[in-house]
Amino acid sequence: MGLNSDGRKEVLGLWIGKEECVSFWREVLNDIKARGVKDILLTVTDNLKGFTQAIQASFSKASTQICVIHMIRQSFGYVAYKIRKTFSEDLKMLYKAPNKEMAEEYLVSLEEKWLHCYPSALKPWRTNWENWTNFFDYTPEIRRIIYTTNAIENLNKNIRKYTKNKTQFPDDKSAIKSIYLACLKVSKTWCKPIPDWGVILNDFHMAFPDRCSHIKIK
């Protein structure tokens, strides 16, 4: 799923694979390229296996962002429920920092406070530092649309509404057909650009002057 130059959400395609790996994601991205997508400015993923590497290989100029919401959920899974509220407030200081430098300082403070008892909750933030902090390079308006994959999750949720009565499909072709029809129904509601598209597009012009200056409000 993508956001096109008109500021509208668009289903780029659907694919069925045996496993999520670099070769599968590269096949997906190459198919998108073959159908006319020439450039991707920013991507946001759930850090699925091999996805970031495939993006960097197929669209070398694309900035890759890991979904911060998924990072938060992953951390909470390792933290005792009774202290989750306190941990959440501390963690919020990290991903809501005004810039990458301040985020680094907050991460150091978090590690000093929590690493000894919850190392697994904090390790992903350090390990994936380069890929989850990319959104700090952009304005707050752009950050809001790239720090989470909620848009694709909402799409999947709506697809399940149309397919929930079919627990099994005789073959891949029938599954793709059913999901395709569900996507058509969902996408009919995407008749307007996302809120504040003009402001966001202006920010894109400043962030990528050589790659999207030709895009105008329609």
With a cut of 80, say whether residue 165 has pLDDT above it.
no
The answer to whether residues 69 and 37 touch, using CB atoms and an 8 Å cutoff, is: no
Q: What is the pLDDT of residues 11-24, one digit of tens each?
A: 998 888 888 788 89
Q: Tell me if 162 sits within 8 A of 181, measured CB to CB.
A: yes
Domain ranges for the chain: 2-66+149-212, 69-127
pLDDT for 40 equals 92
Q: Give me the count of residues in the chain.
A: 218
pTM reported for the whole predicted model: 0.85
Predicted pLDDT of residue 22: 85
